[in-house]
Amino acid sequence: MELFCFDDDVGPGLPLWMPNGTVLIEELEKLAKETEFAAGYDRVRTPHLARENMYLTSGHLPYYAESMFPPMELYAEGDKQLSVDRSERDITESDKSLRDSFEKMIPELKAGIRDPQEFVRAFKKLPPELQNGLVDNVALVRLFASLKWAEVNEPERYYLKAMNCPHHHKIFGAVPRSYRDLPLRLAEYGTCYRYEQSGELFGLMRVRSMQMNDAHIYCTEEQFEAEFNAVNEMYLKYFKIFGIDKYLMRFSTHDPAKLGQKFVDQPELWKKTEEMVRNVLVKSGINFVEVPNEAAFYGPKIDVQVWSAIGREFTIATNQVDFAVPSRFGLVYKDRDNTEKTPLCIHRAPLGTHERFIGFLIEHYAGNFPLWLSPVQVRVLPLGDEEPLVEYARGIQAELRAAGIRAEIDATNNNIKGKVLQAEQAKVHTMLVVGNRDLEAGNVSVRIHGQGNLGAKPRAEVIADIIQSAKERRA
């Protein structure tokens, strides 16, 4: 179906989305954006990397470090050469001798020289007999780095983002907030990078680059139940659209014995937020099971399990409560009594990541996507190559494309049997066969992938139905 591919030069676990696969991505994003706009979300955009300090603040470092790509080390201008390893094993015997004699002979250089370039300039001003024939800048920098009294500047460390939440917390904290601003719902299809072990990579289901249907809802305790329930309702809406009949929500709680180790050491807030989540699930009548010791480190969570049409189980989404990290970032709002309070944060991703969700949809539909999601929605198949007939077919294609329908025309010299076979193999959803009788009557003969020939119908009626079916996202 030419949806995606992997390439060794790009790297394992880093999918390349081809045109057909990109159609699926854009349709899912369109669905999510429409749904979230109607639900009062505001869209944001954040960069793909951030300084180490932000992840230290959030707590993802060091606890999540194994799942993050190694840091990029950036030196200030002039300091790049100081990436020299200062360990003794990298210092030659001649370097050691020079270092020792240098420290004895020129103690006055110890005062105030902490920059390698400044050291090089000062060294070259020394009398030739003290320079010991050392003129190479790289060697001088290595010498400087080996000196016991030298202060080697540490590089700034940047990480590819493995999650969007710290960036969204920064957006919340960028301006003063009032209780009138809450709930604040920040949404982004953010690209994240996670260093999955090579043995764990598996097609689209386990990758190292992922685009996440992410959002963070900042709310008061009083607003929590309505917001959390609204997120669950969003899940149910999506299940209906995609024909997901069997699902289960895994409510993950903490283990009191592991407070301060695996979980944030705030026992009262754990009890309170877990009870809040439990009450919402019970009141809404959603099918769920409770699983201890599986919560996120900052709060209870729900993992959404769904079953494909052939009965295989997938984890596609998550819904988490965060009572800890907002306070780490100093996030506050002014309440009605003019006091500062820390909001609760709901992390939610109903459609999970493009990679995992599309992997699920490929199996769920066996590649036979509904019309609204099909990479090629309509292909027009003329029964001959006569100019009036081809022009009639092109007119149908143009009318459909003007309405936003992904329509193609097969104007090759293949016979109709070959054209239909190629369209079926490509899993084109709708084939419109047109012959001279259709041209004269203003009709088209409709053929649906997997259903066969539905007969001739008026052109206008068929086009209107296709447009409406795509708009309504019919199954």
Query: Residue range 20-30: average pLDDT?
Result: 97
Q: What is the biggest distance separating any 2 CA atoms in the chain, rounded to whole angstroms? A: 104
- Which pLDDT score, from 0 to 100, does residue 120 have? 72
CATH superfamily of 4-70+158-365: Bira Bifunctional Protein; Domain 2 (3.30.930.10)
Determine whether 417 is exposed, middle or buried from the number of CB atoms within 10 Å of its CB (0-12, 13-18, 19+): exposed
- Which pLDDT score, from 0 to 100, does residue 383 have? 93
Token pair belonging to 248? 């289960």
Alpha helices in 114-220, H assignment, sequence order: 116-124, 128-131, 137-146, 165-172
Q: How confident is the model at residue 436 (pLDDT cuts 50, 70, 90)?
A: very high
Q: Tokens 């917001």 map to which residue?
A: 227
Instruction: Assess whether pLDDT exceeds 60 at residue 50.
Output: yes
Chain centre to alpha carbon of residue 27: 16
Mean pLDDT lowest among 225-229, 234-238, 264-268: 264-268
- Which pLDDT score, from 0 to 100, does residue 98 have? 55
- Which pLDDT score, from 0 to 100, does residue 372 have? 98
Contact 61, 50 (CB under 8 A): no
All structural domains of the chain with their residue ranges? 4-70+158-365, 76-146, 371-472
- Which pLDDT score, from 0 to 100, does residue 297 have? 82
Q: Cβ contacts of residue 274 below 8 Å, gap of 6+?
A: 253, 254, 300
Q: Residue 430 pairs with which residues in a beta bridge? A: 378, 448
Query: pLDDT tens across 156-192, in order?
Result: 899 999 999 999 999 999 999 999 999 999 999 999 9
DSSP characters for 346-358?
A: EEEETT-BHHHHH
Give Cα separations from 377 to 421, 428, 467 (angstroms).
16, 6, 10
Contact 314, 355 (CB under 8 A): no
What's the mean pLDDT when you consider all of the chain? 88
Please state the φ and ψ torsions of residue 447, each to the nearest 5 degrees: -130, 125
Determine whether 297 is exposed, middle or buried from the number of CB atoms within 10 Å of its CB (0-12, 13-18, 19+): middle
Query: Residue range 438-455: average pLDDT?
Result: 94
DSSP secondary-structure letter at 34? H
Please choose, from the candidates 19, 16, 29, 2, the residue with its C-alpha nearest in 3D space to the C-alpha of residue 212: 29
Please state the φ and ψ torsions of residue 275, each to the nearest 5 degrees: -65, -35
Query: pLDDT tens across 249-263, in order?
Result: 999 999 999 988 888
Query: Residue range 129-138: average pLDDT?
Result: 66
pTM: 0.83
Q: Which is it for strands 378-382 and 407-409: parallel, antiparallel or unpaired? A: parallel
Mean pLDDT lowest among 78-82, 145-149, 329-333, 381-385: 78-82
- Which pLDDT score, from 0 to 100, does residue 152 have? 53
Determine whether 67 is exposed, middle or buried from the number of CB atoms within 10 Å of its CB (0-12, 13-18, 19+): middle
Give Cα separations from 282 to 234, 276, 322 (angstroms).
17, 10, 20
Query: pLDDT tens across 102-133, in order?
Result: 555 455 555 556 566 676 777 777 777 666 66
- Which pLDDT score, from 0 to 100, does residue 44 have? 98
Instruction: Assess whether pLDDT exceeds 90 at residue 242.
Output: yes
Q: Cβ contacts of residue 340 below 8 Å, gap of 6+?
A: 332, 333, 334
Query: pLDDT tens across 353-368, in order?
Result: 999 999 999 999 999 9
Q: How confident is the model at residue 327 (pLDDT cuts 50, 70, 90)?
A: very high
- Which pLDDT score, from 0 to 100, does residue 89 have? 38
Instruction: Assess whether pLDDT exceeds 80 at residue 81.
Output: no
Token pair belonging to 175? 């301006």
Query: Residue range 135-159: average pLDDT?
Result: 67
Query: What angle do helix axes 19-38 and 221-241 make, rounded to 10 degrees?
Result: 140
Same-fold call for 4-70+158-365 versus 371-472: no
The 3-state DSSP class for residue 298 equals coil
Radius of gyration of the chain (CA): 31
DSSP secondary-structure letter at 459? H
Rounded CA separation 360/263 (Å):
31
Which range, 72-81, 306-315, 434-443, is most confident? 434-443
DSSP secondary-structure letter at 180? G
Mean pLDDT lowest among 24-33, 81-90, 227-236, 459-468: 81-90
Token pair belonging to 384? 């001959």
- Which pLDDT score, from 0 to 100, does residue 84 have? 43
Token pair belonging to 271? 């009890």
Instruction: Assess whether pLDDT exceeds 90 at residue 93.
Output: no
Contact 248, 283 (CB under 8 A): no
Residue type, 19: P
CATH class entry, domain 371-472 = alpha beta
